[in-house]
Amino acid sequence: MYYKIAMVTLVTALFISCTGNRSGKSNDHGSSQDDVTAVKGDKNELFLLVGTYTSDEGSKGIYLYRFNTGTGLSDSVNMVEVKNPSYLTLSPDEKFIYAVGENDEGGSAAHAFSFDKESGSLTYINSALTNGGGPCYITIDSKGKSVHTANYGGGSISSFQVNSDGSLTPATSVISFKGSGADSIRQGKPHLHSVMYSPDGQFLFASDLGSDKLYRFNVNDTPFEGQPAIQESSLKAFSTPADTGPRHFDFHPDGGRYLYMLGELSGEVIVYDYHFGELVQKQVITADSVGARGSADIHVSPDGRFLYASNRLQADGVAIFSIDPDEGTLTRVGYQSTGRHPRNFVITPNGKFLLAASRDDNKIQVFAIDAETGLLTDTDQDIILSKPVCLKFAQMR
């Protein structure tokens, strides 16, 4: 009972109104409802949701901006208060937002919010314990019925069902893993770092930094009430090279023919052929050339021509690769320096901009993407915000 009371207090909505800023750098944490209404007719406008690490002196939760995919300019809209929402996902209809609370074992949870695009507001619905410490990634199925978290500290995957009002049920399953890796300090036990559905929705994949594994589960897309969407008995493990430290991965937009996995420790991208749940390794290529052991995020451009991978701890920046249209293999074409600790980044749906969340410089950098080369140029239109660590786009309406 104490936890339920504390959780309601933790995520009580806090909305702040202020004047929008369209001149380049933005440091506002909210704007008026009139500002939101004024841009509804602009087809280039998207909502930008930002998850953060929170503190007494810094960010307080999830922040909402509007972002112009034609100009790269942004405006603050609103925010909702919640502790350490370090990763976010949207329901397929974008009416609900789900966030992890990346806390210790007792305070780790998945949070549900309603998303009103007319007013630009996020409203807390409920929370459910992950029963695994340090959840750092959250995903939802294409029907908006099942949510899963990857729990770094707990070395586990937690699964939840979504009710008709967008709320989360208590965890229907918590699947824990065993194993370790070559690095006795960073791979002493399993560390689940991401979880994602295959493009066809038939499988759920998860990366385990601690034991150098990619896991695959068969998906039950019509589970009964209280029944998990994935069954531990369907687990298949794919081993990566020792000391890889699998972190994030992405599928190629062309039917998911290729899977690209980034190793946090090795700083390498592993390219796989993908076909109905099966992976065949075909290439390993370096993203982190200085051996910093802090590679972070990876995304394929919407047109499938380029791949980007961020690196932290030394020579912070984004490695840029071209993708062979016939084989899916990578060729390194450049490297873009960023602010410190680019933990996460996102590419606009039109492929014109890449936004990098530079956690330790307290800003989101906006880079223009060259359509021919894939190379990046800093537009100097930063969004100033304490400890940004997750970026997601949503349609304005």
Tell me the β-bridge partners of 197: 204
Q: What average pLDDT score do residues 114-125 get?
A: 97
End-to-end Cα distance, the chain: 38
H/E element, 38 = helix 33-38
pLDDT above 80 (res 20): no
Asked if pLDDT for residue 287 goes beyond 60, the answer is yes
The first and second tokens of residue 361, run together, are 């410089």
15 confidence band (pLDDT: 50, 70, 90): very low
CB atoms within 10 A of CB 152: 25
Contact 304, 310 (CB under 8 A): no
Q: What average pLDDT does this structure show over 312-337?
A: 98
Average pLDDT over residues 362-369: 98
Across the range 143-157, mean pLDDT stands at 97
Is residue 3 over pLDDT 60? no
Which pLDDT belongs to residue 41?
Answer: 52
Of 3-7, 145-149, 154-158, 343-347, the poorest mean pLDDT is in: 3-7
Residue 30 main-chain phi, psi, to 5 deg = 180, 160
How far apart (Å, rounded) are the C-alpha atoms in residues 163 and 385? Answer: 33
- Which of the four pLDDT bands, split at 50, 70 and 90, describes residue 10? very low
Residue corresponding to tokens 């199925």: 141
Instruction: Please tell me the predicted confidence (pLDDT) of residue 30.
Output: 36
Dig out the tokens for 357 from the structure. 């969340």
**What is the pLDDT at residue 222?**
78
How much is the pLDDT for 228? 85
pLDDT at 26 over 60: no
Summarize the confidence of residues 49-53 as an average pLDDT: 98
Q: When comparing pLDDT for 80 and 39, which is higher? A: 80
pLDDT tens sequence across 256-285: 999 999 999 999 999 999 999 999 999 999
For residues 387 and 223, which has the higher predicted lDDT (pLDDT)? 387
pLDDT at 294: 98
pLDDT at 28 over 80: no
**From the centroid of its chain, how far is CA 322?**
22
Helix (H/G/I), strand (E/B), else coil: 35 = helix
CA distance 125 to 112: 5
User: What's residue 56's pLDDT?
Assistant: 86
Q: What is the mean pLDDT of the chain?
A: 91
Average pLDDT over residues 57-70: 97
CA-to-CA distance for 84 and 53, rounded, in angstroms?
5
Question: What per-residue confidence (pLDDT) applies to 122?
Answer: 98
- SS3 category, 318: strand
State phi, psi for 232 to the nearest 5 degrees: -60, -30
- How many CB atoms neighbour CB 155 within 10 A? 23
Q: What is the pLDDT of residues 194-220, one digit of tens each?
A: 999 999 999 999 999 999 999 999 998
Q: pLDDT for 291-308, tens place per residue? A: 999 999 999 999 999 999
- Rounded to the nearest angstrom, the gap between the alpha carbon of residue 270 and the centroid of all alpha carbons in its chain is 19
Give the pLDDT confidence score for residue 219 in this predicted structure.
96
The pLDDT value recorded for residue 25 is: 55
Q: Write down the pLDDT at residue 226.
A: 81
Sign of CA dihedral 60, 341, 110, 256: positive
The pLDDT score that the predictor gives to residue 40 is 53
